Amino acid sequence: MNVKDTGVFYYFLLIKKLNIYIYFCYSIYMSWAAKRQFKYLLGIFGVFALIVVWIIYPIIFKNPTCSDGKQNGTETGIDCGGSCSEICSAQTASPVVVWNRAFPVTGNIYNLVAYVENPNRGAAIANINYEFRIYGTNNKLIGRRLGSTYIPPDKDFVVFEPRFNSGQSKIRSISFEFLPPFVWQKKKSTLNTLPIKVNNIVYSSDINSSSLSAQVENDSIYNIPAFNVIAVLYDINNNAINVSDTRKEGLASNDTLPIIFTWPEVLSKTPVKHDVLVQINPFSVSF
């Protein structure tokens, strides 16, 4: 019996990724045919093991994603920060409600308005819920108005809820708040840099009503999708007198659009300043 026949031969399959070591051996007492058959079986088993590893490895060792519920890769929080589009809440500030008021339309119908500042540069929210609470005399809650909106990056904006009916009550004050969750996303403020202007603003009034006309000009290279235009009228002390809103279905590049706002009753004070805000959803454009 030569050395080759008397030795013990070992085979092993090393799977480095899974740290699994599988050893095989056969003894000196196996016949040549049995040894050959064993080698074939070992080869088949090795191929089968590699196939199994090829299938289960991607399942066990998944590449980091921004939706796997774990902090991994370049993330600075769970599925946020780093290369993810979502910004971690610790890296953002809450929107600032500069003022909120109920403005009379006619009778007991009011428009509810909140003027909000987003202090976060390059951060926006695609959709967030909010709540107006309306109080009457003695600070009694007389109603709520829920809604949803977007928050644009690096910009002041207006949240407008039209035609709240206070019934038999007179509105004394309102409150406004955004409702969690706050899902901040990276968003460039490209819209803020476009040459979209409001010109030819003219306020007029008579004994029955008030109106404000203006013209929106789009001197950019982009066609603008549907957008809102908000008119805010201020008195000499920079206090808002009234607000109105209109929606337009879009504005082509190098085009103009006339805008008119009306109030069915004479305003309580004569406005000395007019702000006309063009509000375009940054998530409705590709630039």
* Residues of each domain in the chain carrying CATH 2.60.40.3230: 92-189
pLDDT by position in tens, the chain (length 287): 444 444 444 434 444 444 444 444 444 456 777 667 767 777 787 777 777 667 776 666 677 889 888 899 898 999 999 999 999 999 999 999 999 999 999 999 999 999 999 999 999 999 999 999 999 988 999 999 999 999 999 999 999 999 999 999 999 999 999 999 999 999 999 999 999 999 999 999 988 889 999 999 999 999 999 999 999 999 999 999 999 999 999 999 999 999 999 999 888 888 999 999 999 999 999 98
Residues linked to residue 186 through DSSP beta bridges, in sequence order: 123
Q: Say if CB 113 and CB 242 are below 8 A apart.
A: no
> For residue 228, what pLDDT is reported?
98
Is 92-189 a CATH 2.60.40.3230 domain?
yes
State which amino acid sits at residue 61.
F
* Residues of each domain in the chain carrying CATH 2.60.40.10: 194-287
Name the strand (E) or helix (H) holding 36.
helix 32-60
> For residue 10, what pLDDT is reported?
41
**Dihedral of alpha carbons 79, 84, 85, 89, sign:** positive
Q: Burial, 235: exposed, middle or buried (Cβ in 10 Å; 0-12, 13-18, 19+)?
A: middle
Name the strand (E) or helix (H) holding 276.
strand 273-279
Q: What is the DSSP string of 58-100?
A: HHHSPPP-TTSSS--TT-SBTTBSTTSSBPPGGG--PPEEEEE
Taking the C-alpha atoms of residue 132 and residue 20, their distance in angstroms, rounded to an integer, is 61
Kindly compute the dihedral angle of the four CA atoms of residues 140, 146, 149, 152, in this order, to the nearest 10 degrees.
20
Give every CB contact of residue 20 below 8 A, 6+ residues apart in sequence: none
> For residue 8, what pLDDT is reported?
41
Give me 166's structure tokens. Answer: 């206070």
> For residue 276, what pLDDT is reported?
97
Q: Give the pairing type, strands 173-179 and 196-205.
A: unpaired
Assign domain 194-287 to its CATH architecture. Answer: Sandwich (2.60)
Model pTM score: 0.78
Taking the C-alpha atoms of residue 183 and residue 86, their distance in angstroms, rounded to an integer, is 7
Say which residue the tokens 């030569």 belong to. Answer: 2
